[in-house]
Amino acid sequence: MRSEAWPIAKITGFRFYSLIAIILITFAALPSLAQGAVDEQSDLFWDKAEPTYIPDYLTHSWAEAQAQKIVAYMNDEELLSQILMLGYPGKEAPAELLEWIARRGLGGVKIFGRNAEESDVLARAVAEFQKAAFSQELSIPLLVATDQEGGWIRHVKGKSSESPGNMAIGATGSSKDAYLSGFYLGRELRTLGITMNFAPVLDLATVPESSIIGPRAFSDDPAQTARLGIAWARGSMAAGVIPTAKHFPGHGATSLDSHGILPKIEIEKSVFLRRELYPFEQAVRSGLPAVMSGHLAFPQISGDEPASLTQEMIQGMLRDRLGFEGLVITDDLYMEGALDGAGILETCLKAIRAGNDMLLLSTAPSQEGALWKGLLRSLREDEALRAMVEASVRRILALKMSYLRGGGKDSLIPDPAMVEMSLPNAKAQRFFADLARRSVSVIGRQAELPFAPQGRVLIAAPFSEFISLGKKGYPDSRGFAFSYRPERDAKPEELKAFEKALSGCAGVIVCVANRAGMQFATLAHERGVEVAIVSVLSPIHAAHSSWSKAVIAVYHYAPVCLEAGFEVLTGKLKPSGRVPLADYHLR
């Protein structure tokens, strides 16, 4: 399996002419790709007659030609199925979805959190999906995708490793950390048979208080985000997992959630080009294989419709302006930001016409339902739409050939026994624990460390793990649990109980995950108690608390991050991270 898909050094001199000779000899031995008739008994996808030597552009050229050959052989149902990536309910592989795959083929299956709580069960489901794909006449493998960004977006749980996340990588500023994060997350996914990851996130932390993006972003700086995102993508590909940059053209400048509403980002085109578009532009230049389109409106640029459904953004900006030739997949089209009052059939057709190659549907439609019949009818009656679908299927197949064929069919079928042995990956866990320690950042210009009040300490948090780890670091401490939600305003009865719990305490350590959490820290300060704050998501919530003895950021509430935070508070570890937000007085 190829581990890289990046630009190749130029070949000159004697090596060039030697290579031309090899090409001519090799292609003379290959079956003609221009044959009019196709042998129905041939295994088109798994045909071994391909150039396997070093130059990537030869493999790509062969894959594209072979993809065109397969598309010419496919019937309408097979064509339409290839542009669909479907979710499914529960943990087991549903019989109806397996039947769909075995009968028509399918472009891909999306793994959501609801499917992935038990690693061995997930591996068996993925194996069933791929075996069904191989039983179909064309034997085209599925793309099996998920959202495993790192940090708090971790759809595949079970025995997988927890990681500090993107903003922690931004805090170290290290391309190596980004590469290894993509690599180790990808390595665990590939063990489970997952071959595509909807990451890296190239959105900017332009609105860092947003609970939608926040610490999912590497930084608020376009150049740093581009550099780290590209390194992350390269690490993922080295692990055998296709990276998919998201959410094109940028979700960072809004605090609204496109799952429930269509966010409208009111920025001028000049700002958009130098800010939102820049990380995607650089990633495309680096050879990024896939992009996810986001359900966001940019009224001053492409009107009030979702960018994911407009030709101006997908065909105009992404394809024509940036020159992207890879795969474009939508975010879930059942999200309200995509539907925006329309029906699902109309939304899917808009997505195709805008230039998306694959349609992500979190709920699989019925095999013979209205959505399927409507899409199939449109494919057969609209020649322009059919041409777009055929072009998309060629891209899908070329991507699958470039990334999924190398190890053969067996490499795509996970072994539950191997999952039990391999997960969690020990090297991954060591790396992520080290990254967590190196990313701990002081918010503001100074901190009185170690935090050591002369008396009892209260540990207050919405996470039980924080309280238990805090009691280890401060043995004579007491714990106080408060609610994570509502996120903006703490519950009055909890603030009252907290004030009572402060009695007899010389200091308090407050875990701040949102604005509500910050209200507990402020109350303690007002009551004259020494305060230390551990920010666990976006550090913006603790930005204006210079009165605190110490304010540190760890960027995620995973145990490895919380442990690192307490090591800093108790003086065992010197903080070396730097908050990757330039405009909010956090450094």
- The conformational region for residue 48 under phi > 0 = left, psi -120 to 50 = alpha, else beta, is alpha
Q: What are the CA-CA distances from residue 92 to residues 103, 249, 420, 432 (Å)?
A: 19, 35, 18, 30
In a domain, 41, yes or no: no
Using the Cα atoms of residue 116, residue 553, residue 279 and residue 405 in order, give the sign of their dihedral.
negative
pLDDT reported for residue 16: 38
Query: Is the domain of 448 the same as that of 484?
Result: yes
Please state the three-class secondary structure of 114-145 as a single string. Answer: HHCCCHHHHHHHHHHHHHHHHHCCCCCCCEEE
pLDDT at 57 over 60: no
Alpha-carbon distance 408 to 401, whole Å?
Answer: 10
H or E element that contains 23: helix 13-29
Query: Is the domain of 240 the same as that of 373?
Result: yes
H or E element that contains 275: none
Domain containing 406 equals 73-430
Query: Is the domain of 297 the same as that of 405?
Result: yes
In a domain, 55, yes or no: no
pLDDT reported for residue 46: 84
Q: What are the CA-CA distances from residue 386 to residues 63, 136, 382 (Å)?
A: 21, 23, 6
Alpha-carbon distance 118 to 125, whole Å?
Answer: 11
Residues 6+ apart with CB under 8 A from 162: 154, 432, 556, 558, 559, 560
SS3 2: coil
Q: Identify which has the larger pLDDT, 2 or 177.
A: 177
Query: Is the domain of 415 the same as that of 495?
Result: no
State pLDDT tens for residues 246-268. 999 999 888 877 887 888 999 99
pLDDT at 587 over 80: no
Counting every residue written for the chain, the total comes to 587
pLDDT reported for residue 101: 98
Whether the model clears a pTM of 0.85, i.e. scores above it, the answer is yes
Alpha-carbon distance 6 to 230, whole Å?
Answer: 11
Lowest mean pLDDT among 17-21, 186-190, 409-413, 420-424: 17-21
Q: Identify which has the larger pLDDT, 417 or 309.
A: 309
CATH number for the domain that contains residue 522? 3.40.50.1700
pLDDT reported for residue 14: 36
Residue linked to tokens 């990808």: 186
Distance of CA 463 to the CA centre of its chain: 24
Q: Which candidate, 532, 556, 580, places its Cα nearest to that of 435?
A: 556
Residue 259 annotated to the active site: yes
Distance of CA 316 to the CA centre of its chain: 24
pLDDT reported for residue 235: 98
pLDDT at 225 over 90: yes
How many structural domains is the chain composed of?
2
State pLDDT tens for residues 360-413. 999 999 999 999 999 999 999 999 999 999 999 999 999 999 999 988 999 999
Alpha-carbon distance 60 to 69, whole Å?
Answer: 14
In a domain, 350, yes or no: yes
In a domain, 17, yes or no: no
Query: Is the domain of 158 the same as that of 275?
Result: yes
pLDDT reported for residue 59: 66
DSSP state of 109: E
State pLDDT tens for residues 301-329. 999 999 999 999 999 999 999 999 999 99
pLDDT reported for residue 572: 97
CATH number for the domain that contains residue 303? 3.20.20.300
Alpha-carbon distance 51 to 503, whole Å?
Answer: 75
Marked catalytic residue, from 331, 332, 525, 556? 331
pLDDT reported for residue 43: 74
Alpha-carbon distance 258 to 338, whole Å?
Answer: 8
In a domain, 80, yes or no: yes
Using the Cα atoms of residue 352, residue 357, residue 360 and residue 364 in order, give the sign of their dihedral.
positive
Marked catalytic residue, from 60, 259, 544, 585? 259
Query: Is the domain of 472 the same as that of 385?
Result: no
Query: Is the domain of 406 the same as that of 495?
Result: no
Query: Is the domain of 444 the same as that of 340?
Result: no
pLDDT at 4 over 50: no
pLDDT reported for residue 44: 81
State pLDDT tens for residues 120-135. 999 999 999 999 999 9
The pLDDT-based confidence of 227 (bands split at 50, 70, 90) is very high
Amino acid at 226: A
DSSP result, 74-108:
--HHHHHHHTEEE--SSSSPPHHHHHHHHHH--SE
State pLDDT tens for residues 64-77. 889 999 999 999 99
In a domain, 13, yes or no: no
CB of 529 closer than 8 Å to CB of 522: no
Alpha-carbon distance 78 to 138, whole Å?
Answer: 9
Query: Is the domain of 362 the same as that of 464?
Result: no
Please state the three-class secondary structure of 466-480 as a single string. Answer: HHHHHHHHCCCCEEE
In a domain, 580, yes or no: no
Half-sphere exposure (Cβ direction) of 498: Cα atoms closer than 13 Å: 31
pLDDT reported for residue 25: 34
The pLDDT-based confidence of 39 (bands split at 50, 70, 90) is very low
pLDDT reported for residue 583: 59
Query: Is the domain of 354 the same as that of 286?
Result: yes
Are β-strands 507-512 and 530-535 bridged in parallel, bridged antiparallel, or unpaired? parallel
CB of 206 closer than 8 Å to CB of 251: no
SS3 564: helix
Alpha-carbon distance 243 to 245, whole Å?
Answer: 6
pLDDT reported for residue 516: 96
CB of 553 closer than 8 Å to CB of 440: yes
Among 380, 406, 430, residue at a domain's last position: 430
Taking the alpha carbons at both ends of the chain, their separation in whole angstroms is 43
In a domain, 23, yes or no: no
Please state the three-class secondary structure of 237-257 as a single string. Answer: HHCCCEECEEEECCCCCCCCC
Among 430, 459, 489, residue at a domain's last position: 430
pLDDT reported for residue 50: 53
State pLDDT tens for residues 271-307. 999 999 999 999 999 999 999 999 999 999 999 999 9
Query: Is the domain of 150 the same as that of 284?
Result: yes
SS3 14: helix
CB of 376 closer than 8 Å to CB of 79: no
Q: Extract the tokens encoding 315.
A: 């065909």
pLDDT reported for residue 114: 97
- Rounded percentage of the chain residues whose pLDDT exceeds 90: 81
Query: Is the domain of 480 the same as that of 371?
Result: no
